[in-house]
Amino acid sequence: MEKQEQLYEGKAKKVFRTSDPEVYWVSYKDDATAFNGEKKGTIVGKGELNNRISAIFFSLLKERGVDNHFVKLLSATEQLVRRVEIIPLEVVIRNIAAGSLAKRLGLEEGTVLPQPVVEFYYKDDALGDPLINDSHIQVLGIADDSTVQTMERIGLRVNEILQAFLRERKVILVDFKLEFGRAADGSVLLADEISPDTCRFWDEETREKLDKDRFRRDLGDVEQAYQEMLRRIGGDFDV
Ligand code: UDP
């Protein structure tokens, strides 16, 4: 498999075509952004850590029956994925109130939610990725009802799998964001990344943050936190 022309460069990753039209080559970057791009920085080693962490989570999900775009790890910072057309919705699943939910509903950060909360955000930089509901999604023609239901069902299953896996490793899965794409056969496929950039992870004992909130809130030791997450999930070895 060889890397061909670059198709896209996002905030955290570059995507390239390959000799197989159904397979893309993803290269993870060290660049970090927050607050819709207002805060920018570099986290040394982040590309490698997120590439490895995401590969472990996607492999685990595949093993547990949640099909996804991950094909294989290529190098420390690169992986192959199946081509999908990204549906412009971010699906956020929450177990504990934090971030925008704590603010919006006036809940204290750390409040345990009696059941998982599912939210949809419209991926649109100009609008600042607004929270939207089912009828907004229908009115804008972003996805049909059954696609939205499929994303919600898979999201809740991913939550169960990751929560159980992380609990054994003394990590609390506070919340996370998923993205889905449409595969060549029309099916809805889990895609993008699952990493400390897209999840909130708290140490079970100390409640220390092991995720991008260390960057967002200038808490320091960002790289160390990502490294610790990789170690907890068993990926601190060479590929
Ligand atoms: N998230 C993400 N990308 C975004 C917005 C949120 O990956 O563009 C993740 C974030 O890391 C957290 C969850 O989604 O795990 C919920 O984020 P929230 O709505 O609380 O927003 P934030 O506080 O991150 O602005």
Q: How far is the CA of 177 from the centre of ligand 1 (A)?
A: 6
Nearest to 228 by CA among 160, 168, 170: 170
Interacting residues of 180 by C-beta distance below 8 A, sequence separation 6+: 84, 86, 87, 89, 91, 151, 154, 188, 189, 190, 191
Structure tokens at 52: 């490895």
In order along the chain (239 residues), what is the average pLDDT of each group of 10 residues? 94 97 98 93 96 98 98 98 98 98 98 98 96 98 97 98 98 98 96 98 98 97 97 78
Which residue from 127, 175, 209, 214 has its CB within 8 A of the most atoms of ligand 1, so it is best to mutate?
175
Q: How far is CA 152 from CA 88, 90, 158, in A?
A: 14, 11, 10
Query: Tens digits of per-residue pLDDT, 89-122?
Result: 999 999 999 999 999 999 999 999 999 999 999 9
Do residues 19 and 2 lie in contact, with contact meaning Cβ atoms separated by under 8 Å? yes
Whether 229 is in the pocket of ligand 1, judged by its Cβ within 6 Å, is: no
Determine the pLDDT at residue 207.
Answer: 98
Q: How far is the CA of 213 from the centre of ligand 1 (A)?
A: 9
Determine the pLDDT at residue 237.
Answer: 58
Whether 13 is in the pocket of ligand 1, judged by its Cβ within 6 Å, is: no
Distance CA 233, CA 216 (A): 23
Whether 176 is in the pocket of ligand 1, judged by its Cβ within 6 Å, is: yes
Structure tokens at 128: 């600042």
Closest residue by CA, ligand 1 atom 11? 198
Closest ligand 1 atom to Cα of 199: 15
Whether 120 is in the pocket of ligand 1, judged by its Cβ within 6 Å, is: no
Query: Tens digits of per-residue pLDDT, 20-46?
Result: 999 999 999 999 999 988 999 999 999
Determine the pLDDT at residue 235.
Answer: 83
Which residue from 100, 107, 119 has its CB within 8 A of the most atoms of ligand 1, so it is best to mutate?
100
SS3 137: helix
Interacting residues of 60 by C-beta distance below 8 A, sequence separation 6+: 161, 162, 165
Determine the pLDDT at residue 1.
Answer: 83
Determine the pLDDT at residue 238.
Answer: 53
